[in-house]
């Protein structure tokens, strides 16, 4: 079964063809990062207009790359939320038109759930339920138990900034550009053992996160509030260590208190090699993470998720399905 997955929730225009929910036939992503770079973050109106220009060519390229004719597409999956309303509308409306025109089922996909399903695209991956999912992206930081296909139970989430958002904001403070995650990771490599230690927020909820305090601390540090500011690479490395430490700490706690068989890491920040390394080192159960190109937004994860929604749960969406910008997971 070939599923076309469409992703336009934020600033990547993505389309992919995935066979049987596991095999990547094509995966085309047009990034808009260069358009948003000068603003230091995603500008919603710019993003929606750019999706409008890029989406049809991206879908055509995904079909071509997969060697798949429209009549060989068995279902259309699309991200309906969470995300930017204008951006979501572009993807959802094209998906509806294609599903209607081709006479194929439409499947509505939760973007956060799609991130988790990127793990199914890794060859040889075997799910073991219940699994603990850490979804860390530019918009979300969620710790969720996956009890089975489509069955999620939230344990905790960020109370302020998402981890990726904190990377982006701190990169901006350091003048490292946008998106901030990869820029901070590269710069931090120049300082493998930072002597600077940034404070970690402690919250009441044992599985909740908070990153705005670390960001404010960096801002004060750079203003000279605690003496002459340390070199950029040291701040970048200390910030990365602090975020990774908080994320890994909550995951390890959750693994110890819930009988989970594995940890599934996903979302743009899951591309971070320090996070992957530390989580693998400290987790009592096996950790799985997609390759970095499947951690950031893409259509393949949407297609994989749609396949399991359709085949395991028999779920399809009506053609008047609406976008759900505030959708949650669990």
Shorter beta-carbon distance to Zn ion: residue 278 or 297: 297
Q: Which residue is nearest to Zn ion (CB)?
A: 137
Integer Rg of the chain from CA: 20
The two counts, helices (H) then strands (E), for the chain are 11, 10
Is the separation of the CB atoms in 16 and 299 below 8 Å? yes
User: Minimal distance in Å, beta carbon 66 to ligand KG4?
Assistant: 22
Please choose which of ligand KG4, Zn ion, none residue 81 contacts, taking the beta carbon within 5 to 8 angstroms, the exact cut-off set by kind.
none
Q: Quick one: 179 or 194, whose CB is closer to ligand KG4? A: 179
Q: How buried is residue 130: exposed, middle or buried, by Cβ count under 10 Å (0-12/13-18/19+)?
A: middle
Q: Which of Zn ion, ligand KG4, none does 7 bind, CB closer than 5 to 8 A by kind?
A: none
Nearest to 137 by CA among 94, 168, 175, 108: 168
Q: What's the CA gap between 1 and 173, in Å, rounded?
A: 47
C-beta of 9: minimal distance to Zn ion in Å? Answer: 7
| Residues engaged in binding Zn ion (CB under 5 A) | 137, 297
* Closer of 254 and 302 to ligand KG4 (Cβ): 302
Smallest distance, ligand KG4 to C-beta of residue 185, A:
4
Q: Which is nearer to ligand KG4, 104 or 169 (CB)?
A: 169
**Residue 91 binding: pick among Zn ion, ligand KG4, none (C-beta 5-8 Å cut-off by kind):** none
CA distance 109 to 115: 10
Choose from Zn ion, ligand KG4, none: what does 179 bind? Cβ within 5-8 Å by kind: ligand KG4
**Site of tokens 């603990």:** 132
> How wide is the angle at C-alpha 126 spanned by C-alphas 123 and 128, nearest 5°?
155
- DSSP letters of 257-292? HS--SEEEEESGGGG-HHHHHHHHHH-SS-EE---H
C-beta closer to ligand KG4: residue 73 or 270: 270
271 binds, among Zn ion, ligand KG4, none (CB under 5 to 8 A by kind): ligand KG4
- CB nearer Zn ion, residue 137 or residue 262: 137
**For residues 188 and 271, which CB has a smaller minimum distance to Zn ion in the complex?**
271
| Residue 233 touches which of ligand KG4, Zn ion, none (Cβ within 5-8 Å per kind) | none
Q: Would you say 134 and 243 are in contact if contact means Cβ atoms under 8 Å apart?
A: no
Minimum distance, C-beta of residue 104 to ligand KG4, in the bound complex (Å): 26
Phi-psi region of 43 (alpha: psi -120 to 50; beta: other; left: phi over 0): beta
Taking the complex as a whole, the smallest distance from the CB of residue 141 to Zn ion amounts, in Å, to: 11
Provide the token pair at 197.
């230690």
Choose the one of Zn ion, ligand KG4, none that binds residue 164, judging by a C-beta under 5 to 8 angstroms depending on kind: ligand KG4
- If you search the block for the tokens 């194929």, which residue do you land on? 104
Answer for the pair 142, 276: CB distance below 8 angstroms, yes or no: no
The site for ligand KG4 (CB under 6 A) is made up of 10, 137-139, 164-165, 167-168, 179-182, 185, 267-269, 271-272, 296-297
Nearer CB in complex with ligand KG4: 128/273: 273
DSSP code at position 58 = H
Q: Residue 325 Cβ, how far from ligand KG4 at the closest point, in Å?
A: 13
Hey, which residues does 106 pair with through a beta bridge? 76
Give the number of other Cβ atoms within 10 Å of residue 64's Cβ: 13
The interface partner of residue 86, options being Zn ion, ligand KG4, none and the CB cut-off 5 to 8 Å by kind, is none
């Amino acid at each position: 079964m070939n599923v076309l997955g469409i992703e336009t929730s934020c600033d990547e225009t993505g389309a992919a063809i995935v066979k049987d929910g596991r095999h990547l036939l094509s995966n085309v992503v047009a990034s808009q990062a260069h358009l948003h770079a000068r603003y230091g973050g995603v500008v919603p109106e710019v993003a929606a207009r750019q999706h409008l220009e890029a989406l049809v060519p991206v879908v055509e390229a995904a079909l071509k790359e997969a060697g798949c004719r429209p009549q060989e597409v068995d279902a259309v999956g699309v991200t309906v939320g969470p995300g930017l309303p204008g951006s979501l509308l572009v993807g959802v409306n094209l998906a509806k038109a294609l599903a209607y025109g081709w006479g194929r089922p439409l499947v509505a996909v939760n973007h956060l759930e799609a991130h988790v399903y990127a793990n199914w695209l890794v060859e040889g991956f075997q799910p073991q339920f219940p699994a603990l999912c850490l979804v860390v992206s530019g918009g979300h930081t969620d710790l969720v138990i996956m009890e089975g296909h489509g069955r999620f139970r939230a344990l905790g989430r960020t109370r302020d900034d998402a981890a990726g958002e904190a990377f982006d904001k701190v990169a901006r403070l350091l003048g490292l550009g946008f998106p901030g995650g990869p820029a901070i990771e590269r710069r931090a490599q120049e300082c493998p053992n930072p002597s600077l230690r940034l404070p970690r927020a402690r919250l009441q909820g044992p599985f909740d996160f908070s990153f705005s305090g670390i960001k404010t601390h960096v801002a004060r540090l750079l203003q000279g509030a605690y003496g002459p500011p340390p070199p950029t690479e040291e701040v970048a490395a200390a910030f990365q260590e602090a975020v990774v430490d908080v994320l890994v700490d909550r995951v390890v706690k959750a693994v110890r208190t819930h009988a989970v068989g594995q940890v599934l890491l996903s979302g743009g920040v899951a591309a971070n090699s320090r996070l992957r390394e530390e989580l693998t080192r400290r987790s009592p159960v096996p950790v799985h993470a997609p390759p970095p190109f499947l951690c950031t937004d893409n259509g393949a994860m949407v297609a994989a998720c749609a396949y399991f929604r359709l085949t395991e749960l028999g779920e399809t969406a009506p053609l008047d399905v609406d976008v759900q910008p505030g959708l949650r997971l669990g």
